């Protein structure tokens, strides 16, 4: 099962929830930090043997000896990544979406695609102590980091997700995605393909406004979702009222707790700072996994 943790705005506690779920579930887990512009899940994890590898995309390169400046490549590109001005052809790699169309439409075969590095993947394993003296299976942890100066994060996010669902993950792994904030392309890219989305919010006017945007986005994508309200006793009841009115399930309420704040400032996960939340997150993960298996079984019986 793949669970994506998202929110309409930053600072609601997505990473806190993602890391807590990943550490609390006793089964095999893969945690993906897809907030590639500012990944921070790794701050709360003790990573073993991290391995880095580059993320590249293909961008056009012009062979001036073959190009006759016909302009077909520029006319084809919807993103203005390649522009013909007089007898010159200019390429803007930061605008390129790597579709390859310009190379296909070039009658002179003057365009070839070359790899350009736009970010980095960092993969490691994380030891997970369980309650008491128990030890859970090691967790795979993969984070992406967008190279400074690059504007498009979705290619790096897709690379993180592809790596997370690759040969290192078993079919029965729980995959948890820490998504970027907002409701634009990076967030949509992160939650696409998820079985369930947890929307994290806070009981403030801004929290409700951006939760509403996130709810509409996830509903349009047709993904089942629920809400966790962080710092639930620090604002008002407008988020609870909204969820009740829209028949949205509230999965968990996390009130203000000085232990959690102090632990966070020292790089401690929530379930390490407040041990009683371990059972709450493991129960939540087990419930979502059980629902997913039931839905899969129902779908199997329908197809038969």
Q: What value does the mean pLDDT take over residues 128-155? A: 90
Residues 204 and 235: beta-carbon distance below 8 Å? yes
**Mean pLDDT of the chain, nearest integer:** 91
- Residue 199 banded pLDDT, cuts 50, 70, 90: very high
224 vs 194: CA distance, rounded Å: 9
The helix (H) or strand (E) run that includes residue 288 is helix 277-303
Residue-wise pLDDT for 250-265, tens only, equals 999 999 999 999 999 9
- Residue 300 banded pLDDT, cuts 50, 70, 90: low
- Residue 141 banded pLDDT, cuts 50, 70, 90: very high
Residues 21 and 84: beta-carbon distance below 8 Å? no
Torsion angle (degrees, nearest 10) of CA 247, 176, 231, 253: 50
Backbone angles phi, psi at 170, to 5 degrees: -85, 165
153 vs 180: CA distance, rounded Å: 10
pLDDT at position 291? 78
135 vs 151: CA distance, rounded Å: 41
Classify residue 48 by its DSSP letter.
Answer: E
Backbone angles phi, psi at 263, to 5 degrees: -65, -40
Q: What value does the mean pLDDT take over residues 94-123? A: 94
Classify residue 273 by its DSSP letter.
Answer: H
Alpha helices in 205-276 (DSSP H): 205-221, 238-245, 258-265, 270-273
Q: 135: which 2 tokens?
A: 């030890």
242 vs 240: CA distance, rounded Å: 5
Q: What would you report as the CA-atom Rg of the chain, rounded to the nearest whole angstrom? A: 22
Residue-wise pLDDT for 85-99, tens only, equals 988 899 999 899 999
Ranges 7-11, 19-23, 244-248: which has the least confidence: 7-11
pLDDT at position 171? 60
Does residue 116 have a pLDDT over 50?
yes
Report the interhelical angle of 277-303 vs 14-24 (nearest 10°).
Answer: 80
pLDDT at position 48? 92
Q: 184: which 2 tokens?
A: 């634009």
119 vs 183: CA distance, rounded Å: 22
What percent of the chain stands above pLDDT 70?
A: 94
Residue-wise pLDDT for 156-184, tens only, equals 999 999 998 865 555 668 999 999 999 99
Does residue 81 have a pLDDT over 80?
yes
pLDDT at position 166? 66
Q: What value does the mean pLDDT take over residues 119-147? A: 91
Q: 238: which 2 tokens?
A: 């407008």
């Amino acid at each position: 099962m793949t669970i994506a943790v998202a929110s309409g705005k930053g600072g609601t506690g997505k990473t806190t929830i993602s890391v807590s779920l990943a550490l609390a579930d006793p089964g095999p887990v893969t945690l993906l930090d897809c907030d590639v512009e500012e990944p921070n899940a790794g701050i709360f994890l003790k990573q073993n043997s991290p391995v880095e590898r580059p993320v590249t995309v293909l961008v056009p390169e012009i062979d001036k000896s073959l190009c006759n400046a016909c302009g077909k490549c520029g006319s084809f590109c919807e993103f203005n990544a390649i522009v013909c001005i007089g007898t010159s052809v200019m390429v803007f790699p930061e605008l390129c979406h790597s579709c390859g169309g310009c190379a296909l439409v070039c009658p002179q075969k003057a365009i070839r695609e070359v790899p350009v590095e736009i970010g980095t993947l960092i993969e490691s394993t994380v030891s997970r102590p369980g309650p008491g003296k128990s030890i859970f299976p090691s967790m795979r942890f993969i984070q992406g980091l967008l190279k400074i100066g690059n504007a498009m994060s979705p290619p790096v996010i897709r690379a993180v997700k592809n790596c997370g669902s690759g040969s290192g993950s078993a079919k029965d792994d729980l995959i948890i995605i820490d998504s970027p904030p907002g409701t634009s392309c990076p967030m949509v890219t992160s939650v696409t393909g998820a079985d369930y989305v947890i929307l994290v919010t806070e009981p403030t006017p801004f929290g409700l406004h951006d939760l509403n945007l996130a709810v509409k986005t996830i509903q349009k994508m047709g993904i089942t979702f629920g809400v966790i309200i962080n710092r639930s006793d620090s604002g008002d009841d407008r988020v609870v009222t909204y969820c009740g009115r829209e028949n949205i399930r509230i999965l968990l309420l996390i009130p203000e707790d000085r232990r959690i704040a102090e632990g966070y400032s020292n790089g401690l996960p929530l379930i390490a700072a407040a041990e009683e939340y371990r059972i709450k997150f493991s129960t939540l993960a087990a419930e979502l996994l059980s629902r997913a298996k039931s839905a899969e079984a129902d779908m199997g019986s329908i197809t038969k």
